[in-house]
Amino acid sequence: MMDPVTLGMAKADVKKKYAPVVRLSSPQPQQATSQAPSGRAIVGIFGSTLLSWSSFGLSQSENSGTTWTSKALPADVPTSAATAGAGWVVLFKGNYYLQAKKTSDGLPGIFRAAPVTGATDFTWSTSLLNGSTGSNIISTALAADANYIYWAEYGDPATGPSVWRSPDGTTWTKVLGPDTFAARHVHGIFPDPYNPGHVWLSCGDAGSAGYHYRSTNYGATWTIIPGDLGTNQAWQAVQVSFDADWIYFGPDTTSNFSAFKADRATLTPRWTGKQSHRYLPVPAGLPSRRITDLTTTSGSATITSATAAFTSADVGSRIRTTGQNTIPIDACIASVTNATTAAVYSSKAATVTGSTTTAILGGGAWGAMAYYGAVDPATGIYYFVSINGVAGGNVDGLFAVLPDGTLTLLDILTTSPDGKVTIDSGKVYVRGFWRPTLAL
């Protein structure tokens, strides 16, 4: 007979409670991460075939990133990835579909080309779908399942965001928004591979009617997820991924957790790991310094000190006050005015007025935001990246959460990993980085 505690648990939690302790099959492999050369960002992953984009244009590798061949971009797309935005490519019914900002008007477009090998070049269509005024692209907002390809608007669409689907990539139908959809923008769209026809939508920011939507009919109609997951901004997310028992979320919040998940039965959100990545030490982190004359004003984000010697290098660094939390925990420097004046992020404004506060400034701090992450369904290991974003931190990293909640650092990432995390063919990819997945 199950004990009373177990009787109150979701089925997925019962499995976890009675499962054996999880251990990696070998010592934790750190620094096993590879990086694509010449500033390439991976924008399409199809087994050993990779597509990348850099300031030099589009390239393809057919041997898992060992060698690269330059490829053509659509005529109305700029060469530089930085100008074209967060490009991404999906494979749908035998063709590639690329999202990118157009040269002609700076707005998003969707382009199609057949896959090619060797020296053969892509032949891209003109734009099949165009974003509205004010819209932008994000790597998580283009997706496909067996029946439909989906795209949603990021940025700040002038009349609100819209969501589209197409059965053939040519004819697109608007299935949500803008007037029936209260949100600043869409963060991502995610077909559930365990439930054909089920598609999830993550949205933001403040003022949104809902933060997660779900369709059970391939995007034809949508409903806000009931409870906290749908209506509480504290559980706002960007990337969503799935295994048989859980739905995983990369949080878009400064609430300090690295990832959360919801069991399929109740859709109740909870933390994935036992701790936040923000509290792990940064190996060989930057030095810190002590300030004894920090001046704060309650309700103000501005801080001053005659001796701090603030510089631009302090932006992103954590500042921690001793004794009472004169500045809230996890405050980071947002800007520096001069050697004696700086500001923390507005959400971390001082709670106490004082002029002799002692504080520790600097030291290595992981990027606060963990927008992007994905679960490996074969093992239940969740991979995510920490990004500076707008909430502080000065070091980006790749982390893993084991099924028992243990959080571990995989690698420090030397450039911003601001893009979708993908698990494919025994590897985890994010932007220009990839590494082998872990074995249990």
Residue 403 and residue 358 share a domain:
no
Domain edge (last residue) among 340, 362, 384: 362
CB 219: neighbour CB atoms within 10 A? 25
Rounded to two decimals, what is the model's pTM?
0.84
Q: Where are the beta strands (DSSP E) in 233-304?
A: 237-242, 246-251, 260-263, 269-271, 288-296, 302-304
DSSP at 229:
H
**Sheet hosting strand 288-296, strand order edge to edge:** 319-321, 354-362, 288-296, 302-304, 341-344, 333-338
Which of 129, 148, 232, 251 has its CA nearest to residue 190? 148
Task: Give me the CATH number covering residue 148.
Answer: 2.130.10.10
* Residue 26, domain member (yes or no): no
* Residue 146, domain member (yes or no): yes
pLDDT number for residue 74: 98
* Residue 108, domain member (yes or no): yes
* Residue 283, domain member (yes or no): no
Side chain identity, residue 232: N
Residue 357 and residue 422 share a domain:
no
* Residue 217, domain member (yes or no): yes
Residue 407 and residue 429 share a domain:
yes
Structurally, the chain folds into a number of domains equal to 2
* Residue 100, domain member (yes or no): yes
Residue 180 and residue 235 share a domain:
yes
Residue 391 and residue 271 share a domain:
yes
Residue 258 and residue 168 share a domain:
yes
Residue 343 and residue 395 share a domain:
no
Question: Which bin fits 75, alpha (ψ -120 to 50), beta or left (φ > 0)?
Answer: alpha
Which of 47, 60, 44 has its CA nearest to residue 99? 44
pLDDT number for residue 8: 39
Residue 304 and residue 183 share a domain:
no
Residue 161 and residue 57 share a domain:
yes
Domain edge (last residue) among 362, 384, 406: 362
pLDDT number for residue 17: 41
pLDDT averaged per 10 residues, the chain (length 440): 36 44 52 86 97 96 96 97 95 98 97 98 98 96 98 94 97 92 92 98 86 96 93 92 97 79 94 85 79 91 94 86 69 92 87 83 83 96 85 84 93 89 96 92
The answer to whether 101 and 149 are in contact (CB under 8 A) is no
Domain edge (last residue) among 328, 362, 396: 362
DSSP assignment of 292-324, as one string? EEEEE-TT--EEE-SS----GGGTT-BEEESSS
The secondary structure of 62-124, three-state, reads CCCCCCCEEECCCCCCCCCHHHHCCCEEEEECCEEEEEEECCCCCCEEEEEECCCCCCCCCCC
pLDDT number for residue 426: 94
Burial class of 358 by CB neighbour count within 10 A (0 to 12, 13 to 18, 19+) = middle
pLDDT tens for each residue of 377-411: 999 999 999 987 666 677 899 999 999 999 999 99
H or E, element range at 132: none
**Domain range holding 391?**
34-276+373-436
pLDDT tens for each residue of 414-432: 888 899 999 999 999 999 9
Query: Per the structure block, which two tokens stand in for 1?
Result: 């007979």
Residue 199 and residue 295 share a domain:
no
pLDDT tens for each residue of 197-246: 999 999 988 778 889 999 999 999 999 999 999 998 889 999 999 999 99
* Residue 2, domain member (yes or no): no
Residue 250 and residue 217 share a domain:
yes
Residue 257 and residue 155 share a domain:
yes
Give the pairing type, strands 246-251 and 237-242: antiparallel
pLDDT number for residue 250: 95
* Residue 5, domain member (yes or no): no
